[in-house]
Amino acid sequence: MSRVVLPVLLGLVILGLWWGAYAAGMFPTGTVPSPVDVVTAFGHELASGRLLDDTIASLYRVAWGFIGAVIFAVPLGLVVGRHARTRDALLPWINFFRSLSPIAWIPFAIIWFGIGDPPAIFIIFIATFFQVALATAAAAASVPKIYYRVAEDLGLEGAQVLIKVTLPAILPQLVTALRVAIGVAWMVVVAAEMIAVRSGLGFLIVDARNGLRMDLVVCGMIVVGVLGIVLDALFSRLARIPSVRWGFDR
């Protein structure tokens, strides 16, 4: 119960401080909207359908970029973590590209893909691919050798070992890594939409800023934050599933 009550109480305190500061005129004119203005803007955006459309657009881009990254990064991470020579060759480069800000790829994404969904999806892919690959490789490298000895005794080899031994063994760590990665993807899509597309929550925020509609800016920020909490909660619940927590039956 406290997990719900305490955040709600803290939210009410923050709302009260916001309202009090606005009423006392502590913010320069036109810089911070009142809670009433934000609620009104939220209602108008919902009624017009724009907020829902922008939310769906952002979730669509995150889904494609994130899923694509996972599909390619997990197998790569398994191979890198399992084979020492491959790890020595690829790990420095995975770290190199992981250290680059995804925002730095925006000019290339626009040149290569133009304006629309593809550049945003590409940036999300880049933001999550190397992170998931590195986390998968680190988890795979830490699997006890006894597992592979048992697999050898059972006649498993090659891809069978990766799929039937390594992947189940690292499943708890992998889900945790995916939980972090989906948070990164959700943050990156907002930045990408501010530049590379004409829809989505990021575009809503920058468009409202250009129009000096700070109430819409705050409205967009609230939606981004709430959806971020929802996505994190979904992956948190996934990590609590017994088969995921333990990787495979023992």
Tokens of 147: 């597992």
Q: What is the pLDDT of residues 148-164, one digit of tens each?
A: 777 666 666 667 777 77
Angle at the Cα of 56 from the Cα atoms of 52 and 62, rounded to 5 degrees: 145
CATH superfamily of 34-246: MetI-like (1.10.3720.10)
Domain positions in the chain are 34-246
pLDDT in tens, 47-83: 888 889 999 999 999 999 999 999 999 999 888 887 8
* pLDDT above 80 for 228: yes
pLDDT score recorded for residue 194: 80
Q: What's the whole-number mean pLDDT along residues 141-149? A: 77
